[in-house]
């Protein structure tokens, strides 16, 4: 006999663990979103699965002061617009990154001011902040102030594409789905951003693509 917790009572009086189907085979996230249209509490699975990752990304771009509000708005927007989610365009993870990136855009002046300040004054090496982590992930060199100043000078759309790859580890195809832009546009924006950063940094490699990330088509 199996109870509600997946525990089966054997004839010998011992209790044995039995895997429940919904645990062994968790539902597809796109299906969770669809089911949440009638059972809103199911959307909690999406929140619990992706909150920490999305929060980390927003902190790296805007710092901790704004992150809580932006991340909360990200998931609230996703919940309100879940009926519009199209799994053929983007996986749930990429969809959430797209929403977060659009909301970050509302604070682009804050992001640029922070990057410019870092470019002028650098970071206290004993107190690494979110800007420091951005530089550490994007640059193979230790040119944090120079890199920060260069990032601040990028157009927002180019910076979004570059940091979705460098910080979030999204592939070209995932970025296209997240931002709702053509695949080729992702490549052109990324190449443009790299060229501008290399020019400012004197030819230094401005970013390392995350090891093991899927980059889609060549």
The three-state secondary structure class of 93 is helix
pLDDT for residue 22 is more than 90? no
Check: CB of residue 73 under 8 Å from CB of residue 106. Answer: no
What's the rounded mean pLDDT across residues 61-67?
85
Residue 143 in any domain: the answer is yes
- Domain range holding 53? 29-200
Residues 6+ apart with CB under 8 A from 86: none
Q: Is residue 217 part of a domain?
A: no
pLDDT tens per residue, range 150-183: 888 999 999 999 999 988 999 999 999 999 999 9
For residue 108, being part of any structural domain is answered with yes
How much of the chain, in percent, has pLDDT values that exceed 70? 69
Residue 11 belongs to some domain of the structure: no
Binned at pLDDT 50, 70 and 90, residue 64 comes out as confident
Query: What was the pLDDT predicted at 202?
Result: 76
pLDDT value at position 27? 61
- What is the distance between the alpha carbons of residues 54 and 46, in angstroms, rounded to a whole number? 11
Given pLDDT bands bounded at 50, 70 and 90, which one contains residue 77? very high
Q: What is the pTM assigned to this prediction?
A: 0.73
Check whether 193 has a pLDDT greater than 60: yes
Cα separation, 25 vs 160, in Å, equals 35
Report d(CA 65, CA 69) in Å as an integer: 8
For the chain, give the mean pLDDT: 77
For residue 139, give both structure tokens.
């640059």
Q: Is residue 12 part of a domain?
A: no
pLDDT at 103: 97
User: Domain for residue 63, yes or no?
Assistant: yes
Q: Is residue 216 part of a domain?
A: no
Q: Does residue 151 belong to any structural domain of this protein?
A: yes
According to DSSP, residue 162 is labeled H
Note whether 33 and 46 are within 8 A (CB): yes
Q: How confident is the model at residue 205 (pLDDT cuts 50, 70, 90)?
A: low
How distant, in Å, are the alpha carbons of 56, 114, 167, 172 from that of 62?
A: 10, 8, 13, 23
Distances (CA, A) of 46 to 29, 103, 167: 7, 18, 20
Q: Can you say how many angstroms the Cα of residue 22 is from the centroid of all Cα atoms in its chain?
A: 27
Mean pLDDT of 79-107: 96
Tally of domains in the chain: 1
């Amino acid at each position: 006999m199996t109870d509600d917790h997946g525990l089966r009572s054997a004839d010998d009086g011992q209790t044995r663990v039995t895997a429940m189907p919904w645990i062994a085979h968790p539902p597809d996230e796109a299906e969770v979103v669809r089911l949440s249209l009638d059972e809103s509490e199911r959307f909690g699975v999406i929140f619990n699965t992706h909150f920490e990752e999305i929060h980390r990304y927003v902190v790296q771009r805007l710092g901790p002061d704004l992150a809580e509000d932006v991340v909360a708005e990200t998931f609230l927007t996703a919940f309100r617009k879940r009926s519009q989610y199209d799994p053929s365009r983007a996986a749930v993870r990429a969809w959430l990154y797209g929403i977060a990136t659009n909301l970050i855009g509302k604070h682009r002046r804050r992001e640029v001011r922070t990057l410019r300040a870092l470019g002028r004054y650098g970071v206290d090496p004993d107190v690494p902040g979110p800007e420091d982590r951005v530089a550490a992930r994007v640059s193979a060199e230790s040119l944090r102030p120079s890199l920060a100043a260069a990032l601040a000078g990028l157009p927002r759309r180019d910076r979004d594409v570059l940091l979705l790859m460098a910080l979030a580890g999204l592939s070209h195809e995932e970025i296209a789905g997240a931002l709702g832009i053509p695949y080729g546009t992702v490549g052109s924006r990324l190449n443009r951003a790299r060229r501008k950063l290399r020019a400012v940094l004197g030819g230094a490699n401005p970013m390392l693509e995350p090891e093991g990330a899927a980059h889609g088509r060549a």
